[in-house]
Structure 1
């Protein structure tokens, strides 16, 4: 049985068995949960379907959050993507639109997959739904890659944190980006060790990211950070696939992230008492919502 206490454990076991991390995890979860691999797979398949639905729901032109502070970002970005692809090209701008849409779906109380949290729910869909819809990746391969992302997320949660209230946004969008980067590498034929490197690069790129939600709501700047985290996932995966390694091992990055999270003041850990939340405009928006 796997302990999910280190990334190195997953990598070494996958290398030992000469399998992908996803297959290793699927087999392990089936045993630990006393269910068939097919049952475990179908549950993950359902999660991918919910991701696709959340993207679609968040692209509604008239979509608005409950607070009224946000809404329509996914629609606007998708319209922009259809106009010659923008500066980043049509694939990436559509991916940004999907990340924003899933996050907007969450803000409007829609159904999402917390991967690993509601505040970071747009990053994995932005990556994986884009590969499915625009790059022609097989659904089965995408669903399997989610097991790798989930396993890495379990290690992050055990070794560091996935909660903004404990570790800042590095623990939410940073973790989601790292999980997505690993999934992207596996989908592209990378090795288990390259998956770990992608996670390390993505985490190190967001080390120290604070959690400063305006009005205490998971909207500003959270929704836009989903798009940024999604871009970091792609860039981290591409660097690794190009032959660039992380230099600092994944588990050491996790330990550093945990240490940084502990050093962050409470004002920058989801309390809305620092950062963008206490800017003059941030305070006005808070008053607009709560009076």
Structure 2
């Protein structure tokens, strides 16, 4: 009854059953796994706590990846924002700092939530928790928004891909930004159409982004792309809640993303054979890290 494969189907079920999108997704989980709603919500609350802890760790501890390539940028950005040196304003700079924080914790082998992947793990928690704090939202409201994000991610995975190896970084950071945009729009009281528009805008803004990790590590340029994904997500929310529509519907954008991913050459899909990984500096770093 609660099976859906597209954004349009999810919205239709929500309208027909007179249920929130979050409740539709919870009901689907109950059907599939024979769990109580209480148990399902508890599991999502645990997920939320991991997100919060990753942000705290990335902003307060001296994070350094095993490779030595990354670490400490989240603290620098957080310090700049708190000292009044932000160019984009407190909300945007805070969201970017938190997104980088989670991505740096991932690169340092810390505990994170893959939403939808480890490489794009900072975008959803960084943006959602920044907006939630600014608007004084309770944990239960954030948890509902996380269910909305999970439903959007499920649809993208079913219709296209969330794998950089299959679809490029558009499938990772693009999907994460779409999940974040839809979740935040829901959290802020957006209607069905605004949620769908936020998803579409975020995903199409990053269409075609390649996956080119330097030295094969989820660090350069992945961590800074989490910052870009966060700003993309918030931009999509801003547009959608203002009543601006995506000319191309969300489900068509998802299919377009799939086709673009299929058209990308292997060198640009997580193989580290093209893009930034193939630059002179990228090759030098690879040689230095793996020469032994």
TM-score, normalised on structure 2? 0.97
Measured after TM superposition, the shift of residue 115 of structure 1 is 0.3
Matches within 5 A, 1:127-146: 127-146=127-146
Give 2:263's aligned residue. 263
Residue in 2 aligned with 1:63? 63
Find the aligned partners of 2:279 and 2:205 in 1 and give their Cα distance: 25
1:24 Cα deviation from its structure 2 partner: 1.1
The 5 Å alignment of 1:13-92 reads 13-92=13-92
Q: CA RMSD, aligned part only?
A: 1.1
How far, CA to CA, are the matches of 2:65 and 2:2 in structure 1? Answer: 40
1:130 shift after superposition: 1.0
* Counterpart in the other structure of 2:279: 279
| Native 8 Å contact 1:166 1:261 kept in 2 | yes
User: In structure 2, what is the Cα distance between the partners aligned to 1:81 and 1:139?
Assistant: 25
Q: Distance in 2 between matches of 1:152 and 1:256?
A: 16
* Alignment partners' CA distance in 1, 2:60 and 2:273: 32
In structure 2, the residue matched to 1:7 is 7
Q: What's the CA shift for 1:123?
A: 0.3
User: 1:61 Cα shift?
Assistant: 4.8
The one-character-per-residue Cα deviations of 1:108-131 (angstroms, maximum 9, x if unpaired) are: 000000000000000011112212
Match of 2:114 in 1: 114
Structure 1's unaligned 5+ residue stretches are none
Q: Deviation at 1:191?
A: 1.1
Decide whether the 8 Å contact of 1:95 with 1:130 is kept in 2. Answer: yes
Aligned residues: 291
TM-score, normalised relative to structure 1: 0.98
Aligned partners of 1:287 and 1:262: how far apart in 2?
30
Q: Secondary structure at the match of 2:76?
A: helix
SS at match of 1:175: helix
Which stretch of the first structure deviates more once superposed, 174-183 or 51-60?
A: 51-60
Aligned to 1:253: 253
